Structures are given as structure tokens and as C-alpha cells.
Amino acid sequence: MSRFKLTRPSPSMGVALVALFVSLGGVSYGVATGSIDSREIKNNTVRSKDIRNSEVRGRDIRNSTIRGPDVALNTLSGLDVDESKLGPVPVAEIGLSPLAFARVDSTGGVVDADSRGVSDANVSGSGGHYCFHGLGFSFRTAQVTVDYGDPVTGGNTGLAAQVATGNPRGDCPAGTQLEVATADVGGPAPGTSSAGFYVWFFS
């Protein structure tokens, strides 16, 4: 009965075996040598739980690759934003650009030099009730303040003014679009009183 004689493999056989193991090892070889790169990682397989917290830095992210959908809503603060990259912010129009305005004296006369879009023909009344009608524009709201520079009533610091759309108290004629009421609220006998005022109309 013959026996096989064990012999040491030749150098060429050793090289062949190493090549075989490397070709079969694939990723395992990469793990052993610490040389894993994107070629050894299947697309879409790395999850956030696979990355240690605070390990991804700005230099690890290619410019312009982070988009809006990649960021959770309401997670960025002012420190995260480069203000120089922001465009102009729209401003509210109401209160900044009135449709029309007028300076009205205590007798109900419109001071043309300080008015726009309103004339004497649009104002009637006196004695604390001033009615606006026939205005050539539509408006949603208005603001009024006492004119303390009025030559007749400007010295009285106890004056006040209110504004209302339409004719809510029936003090004005039909077709009135706005009413301004003025009163002396600081004197010994408070009540309706003539006063000059400024009024602004807004859309």
C-alpha cells in the first residue's frame, strides 16, 4: 500500500493561494487592511446610526449638495445663515404707503399743500364732525391724529380725534365714506369740539 508523501508547497503555489483568498475575500480584505472606500460600500446602505455623532464636518460635505429637503423644518437658527446671501425682505405696504392723505383745518377746509387725493369738495361739516364723500379711490381703513399746528385749535393739547368708515352715528349726509370726530377731552367740560387733524387712507 503506497502512501502520499507530504511536501511543502512551492513558492508559486503559495502566491496562487494568496491570490485566490484575496479574490474570494473581497470586502473582508478591505476591513483587514483598513482601506475601505466608496467602492466597497453599496449605495444607500449607510444610515445615520452608522455614523458617530459630531463626526461629519463641513469639510466632509461637497459645496451646494445640501438642499432644503435635506434640512428638517425650523431647525436652522440665525447663526446657521449667511445674511449676505439673503435677498431683500418684502415690507408691509399698509401704514407705509397711503392711497391718499389730507390735512384738514378746524373749519373743515383742506390744506392743499399738505394733502394728496383729497380736496375741499370731498369734506363737509365742522364743529367736531367732518364727513368725507366723493373720494376717487377705494380704501379699507384710515388713521387720524390731531393737528396741534392748526392755527385755531393747535394750542389745546387736550384735543382727541377718532375715525370711522361710513356714517355709523348718522352725523353725516348719505353717501359719506368716512367720518372724523374731534373732541376736547382735557378741558373742564369735555365734549365734541372743532379741531384740525391729519387723516391717511390705506388699501
Residue 133 has pLDDT above 90, yes or no: yes
Q: What pLDDT digit, counting tens, does each position of 149-182 carry?
A: 998 888 888 899 999 999 988 889 999 999 999 9
Greater model confidence, 123 or 155? 123
Q: What one-character-per-residue DSSP string does the chain give?
A: ---PPP-PPPHHHHHHHHHHHHHHHTHHHHHHHT---GGGS-TT---GGGS-TT---GGGS-TT---GGGS-TT---GGGS-GGG--PPP---TTTS-SEEEEE-TTS-B-GGG-BS--GGGEE--TTEEEE---SS--SEEEEEE-TT-TTTTT-TTEEEEEEES-TTS-S-TT--EEEEEEE-SSSS-EE----EEEEEE-
Residue 201's pLDDT is what? 96
Domain boundaries, the chain: 100-202
Question: What's the mean per-residue pLDDT of the chain?
Answer: 79
Residue 10 has pLDDT above 80, yes or no: no
Residue 186's pLDDT is what? 78
Residue 81 has pLDDT above 90, yes or no: no
